[in-house]
Amino acid sequence: MDVVSSYSFASCGWHLVQAIPLIIWPQAINGLLTIDGQGMRPPNDIENYFARSLGFAQIALGLVTVVLTGSLPLNSLVENASDSISPYAAAVLLITMLHHGFTAFYGWTKYNSTDQTGFLLGFIGSVTMAVFGLWCLMFGGDKARISKRTGADKRTSGFPFANAEAGKRKAKKTL
């Protein structure tokens, strides 16, 4: 499994972890995120509707991420002989990484203002997924630049430190 598939399944899993309590037990989320002193009150019908709708939307976002990154093949394995990455993978990674980043920022600001543990837990999960998504955008997915002979990345350079041994071998070949 490549790193993009790992990210897409992890992102889908994080969305499922957030969505299931919203769908099954929306009053628990209300209880976790109420500010002290207001007391626990039963949620009204609008709050239940929005909590469950958000849960279903998070499940849909997680599944769309898995499908559009190419982690879940939609065609036959015989047809898909090339092990190439989906053309939508970079765009989906960018959108979901931004989503996780904004959600982490919101969770952090709410935690700082209310000291509620639910916001801290949401921040930790979202910032982890945002960092993983950024890493995937920067370093994941390019198999074409890996040398088949040595396994080294062809994009590396010796900028601050020159490879003197390779320079000596090149000089001997030209003589």
Q: Which of 92, 106, 131, 112 is nearest to 18 (CA)?
A: 106
Q: Is 146 helix (H, G, I), strand (E, B) or coil?
A: strand
Collapsing DSSP states into helix, strand and coil, what is residue 173? helix
Q: What is the mean pLDDT of each run of 10 residues along the chain (175 residues)?
A: 86 94 81 60 79 93 91 66 70 93 95 88 95 88 63 61 64 66
Q: How many CB atoms lie within 10 A of CB 78?
A: 6
| SS3 call for 150 | coil
Residue corresponding to tokens 């898995």:
66
